[in-house]
Amino acid sequence: MGKLHIIKYCFVAVLCACFAYTFHARAEETEEETSLTQGVINHVSNIWNDGRYEFLFPVYTYHSPLTYSAEKRKEYNVNPWGFGIGKYLEPTPNRRYALSFMTFQDSFNKPEPSFFYSWQHLWRAGKDFRPTLGFVAGITFRDNYHWIPVPGAAPTFGLEYKSFSIDTLYVPGFDVFLTWLTWRF
């Protein structure tokens, strides 16, 4: 798969995620009618102004043996040490939105800064445990793409205990999983 094909795939994925969010947000609108653009601006502003802080700590990258040979997996970095910070908002007990920045070591041990929006659905599995399912959409910058901003979207899943969670995203097209720890306060 060529780099241009991957960039096109990611761009389409981000557009689909934006449209999905927009239609979801418009379905929740009350009396005040807003334009599509204004709805997105209001949503981002609410997260930024009313949200609480979270720290993200990338801890593990998994390259699937279905796609990568054992020799290739040995070459790749599996410890994506880095740090992230974000703001999140939980408007209902079962939904969370976040705006985040995270930088980590990619599979080639190069820094990879990323800015992203995330949406998560939360289930109450007990008093303090909550499984999550959602998606992220954003922009990342990679050395092997000459630092050109690469848009993308990916599904996520995780498990939360009180204010700590472990989250994983699956990078479609590359068959890679990235796991990080989150501390919300």
Name the pLDDT band for 124 (thresholds 50, 70, 90). confident
The mean pLDDT value of the chain amounts to: 86
Give CA angle at 56 (9, 172), nearest 5°. Answer: 20
The one-letter code for the residue type at 70 is: A
- Is there a catalytic annotation at residue 143? no
Report the domain count for the chain: 1
Taking the CA of residue 116 as centre, how many other CA atoms within 13 Å lie in the half-sphere pointing to its CB?
28
- Is there a catalytic annotation at residue 106? yes
Residue of 5, 35, 50, 63 marked active site: 63
Question: Is 138 a residue whose pLDDT tops 60?
Answer: yes
81: enclosing H helix or E strand: none
Neighbours of 98 (CB within 10 A): 23
Residue (of 106, 107, 109) closest to 68 by Cα position: 107
pTM of this prediction? Answer: 0.80
- Is there a catalytic annotation at residue 128? no
The confidence score (pLDDT) of residue 17 equals: 54
Residue (of 183, 105, 101) closest to 139 by Cα position: 101
Task: Specify the CATH number for the domain of residue 84.
Answer: 2.40.160.20
| Per-residue pLDDT reduced to its tens digit, 23-32 | 555 455 554 5
| Per-residue pLDDT reduced to its tens digit, 65-113 | 999 999 999 999 999 999 999 999 999 889 999 999 999 999 999 999 9
Q: What is the CA radius of gyration of the chain?
A: 17
Residue of 43, 100, 106, 167 marked active site: 106
Name the pLDDT band for 4 (thresholds 50, 70, 90). very low
Averaged pLDDT, 29-48:
78
Residue of 43, 100, 107, 114 marked active site: 107
Structural domain of residue 103, as residue ranges? 3-184
Alpha-carbon span 7 to 24, nearest angstrom: 26
